[in-house]
Structure 1
């Protein structure tokens, strides 16, 4: 009876790689179970798409805050490179936030709420489009970065430079692949933030117009859209708070006492206000994207994947 060939060091078992991520990111054992069940087949699905198209492919990953989309992107990158031999670049929409100064200028010239990063209109979409286009065409490129701890862009001289062609580009973000709302949907405020600070709707109309324009050009670069679907918006606060606590823990382990006071971490009250900026489009995403995404992973309130849907591509 034939035996399987031994795996080389670059072909470690998927489960070994997933275990490493689980340990490094302090994830529960249940994450490993879900990753083996759902993410290993997804990596194979993406590898098949690359081989079918015989060109670089861009995979969008959509998910509300705290759903684990960044961890999913890291997981897929490791699986694609180590198990499938496909060079992979992982980007986040967050990498393309406008600088704090640029957002302050928008707050002065358009609407005060635009000082808060996150919504469409607060990203450098032209830079994102150029970066992904270069990656898909095998051209050298620098990968922008944003430091959330200080709420500002990382200096360009510290950006990672890629010179080798990549087979797969992973592009994750909370509004990736999302279309704009209708005028009727924009008419009524969705929370107390909009009631108190966007009474005339200027902010939400500006955000929606941005989403309808440059962001749609950017999203047309996607060859596949994966959605990690939260049960509802109520889960987002708890998950986002956990994210901030994990960030604080990691920074406490690696940051000197002289630097720590300068970090712009958020408490629970600040997070509640912060995610209110995202509520409108997060709800819009939960209601519209499940029928459009190529792959949908549905989460329960315990952050477990309860179902996975694949559409013919």
Structure 2
């Protein structure tokens, strides 16, 4: 019903005020008051054409899911804009999501919406602050377990802190946003020239463990599979210890959104789907056996059952991600992280 009603508003066959009376009342993490819905309908009509064009050109979508736009993208964008006005300075909005949860797509859509409302928006992935190829080669000599980029210890944290501090300060100078090309050095990747971005009001900072905090070492005494051997446990403890170095970076976040699959093991299925899609496009991809090794490596580093679970109670927003990648329930368990 919601989709047909929203389409009628876009077509001009029903007035927004009449639509509000027919919209289903539901419990939501967002403001569902008539005034909020009125504003959201106005934003819907203003933003839909450009968002539709963006999704077609950038994401290759034939259509925008109106239900998701109404239930999640618009109210979340409005919430981020409200936080920017409340803080009266540039803000850093964090996004935590594992493989296949859609964090990159979400930040792209939010950026499109917020830019239409006049905000200067930049996107930064934790991947963008990887150490250089040369530095990671040296790192592997010290610790061969860090054979893949991604776990704690493979990032240039100082650069990340510098960038986030510069954004929050509202510097008049362009911010040199780090960028990383994963295709370089046979897929090992390397840093490339930074992208200068001016007048940033909102930085959307996303990554697979953004906001995760170190745990008490005792929690690893009975760690979940695949942390099964003493070597696995030692690797997990070392990654846990390295998370301490990331806390100054997390402390610069103004808020954190967690994209949470009901079952973390879905990331293996989603990775397989992504690799199959790449192969269909004529690109190289990992075999199913290689995917198992790859995904389980990251579970050994920062196991979702251990590190993600606490954030479900403290994050500003938790978005359930269903097996088909669509958003499910949205909850608002915590308060803003930083002032």
Q: What interval of TM-score do these two structures reach, taking the shorter chain for normalisation?
A: 0.7 to 0.9
Within a 5 Å distance, the mapping from 1:257-296 to structure 2 comes to 265-279=285-299, 280-296=302-318
Secondary structure of the residue aligned to 1:155 is: strand
Q: Higher RCO, 1 or 2 (CA under 8 Å, sep at least 6)?
A: 1
Secondary structure of the residue aligned to 1:115 is: coil
TM-score by length of 1: 0.82
Secondary structure of the residue aligned to 1:307 is: strand
Secondary structure of the residue aligned to 1:58 is: strand
User: Could you report, residue by residue, the CA deviation over 1:156-212 in whole angstroms, capped at 9, with x for unpaired residues?
Assistant: 3xx2112x22110110011111111221223356445x546x627432222111102
Within a 5 Å distance, the mapping from 1:78-227 to structure 2 comes to 78-82=112-116, 84-110=117-143, 112-137=144-169, 138=171, 139-149=173-183, 150-156=187-193, 159-162=194-197, 164-188=198-222, 190-192=224-226, 194-195=227-228, 199=231, 201-212=233-244, 214-227=245-258
Secondary structure of the residue aligned to 2:219 is: helix
* Correspondence 1:297 to 2:331: no
Cα deviation, residue 153, structure 1: 1.3
Rg bigger for which structure?
2
Match of 1:37 among 66, 71, 74: 71
Equivalent pair of 2:314/2:335 in contact (CA under 8 Å): no
State the Cα RMSD in Å.
2.9
Secondary structure of the residue aligned to 1:225 is: strand
User: Could you report, residue by residue, the CA deviation over 1:234-288 in whole angstroms, capped at 9, with x for unpaired residues?
Assistant: 11012123334455667x5xxxxxxx7xx7x433322221111221432324311
Distance 1:200 1:298, change over 3 A: closer
For structure 1, list consecutive stretches of 5 or more residues without a partner in the other structure.
Answer: 4-10, 253-259
Cα deviation, residue 30, structure 1: 7.8
Cα deviation, residue 16, structure 1: 2.7
> Moved runs in structure 1, 4+ residues, more than 6 A?
none
For structure 2, list consecutive stretches of 5 or more residues without a partner in the other structure.
Answer: 1-15, 17-43
* Correspondence 1:74 to 2:108: yes
* Number of residue equivalences: 288
- Aligned equivalents of 2:317 and 2:89: distance in 1? 20
Cα deviation, residue 64, structure 1: 1.1
TM-score by length of 2: 0.76
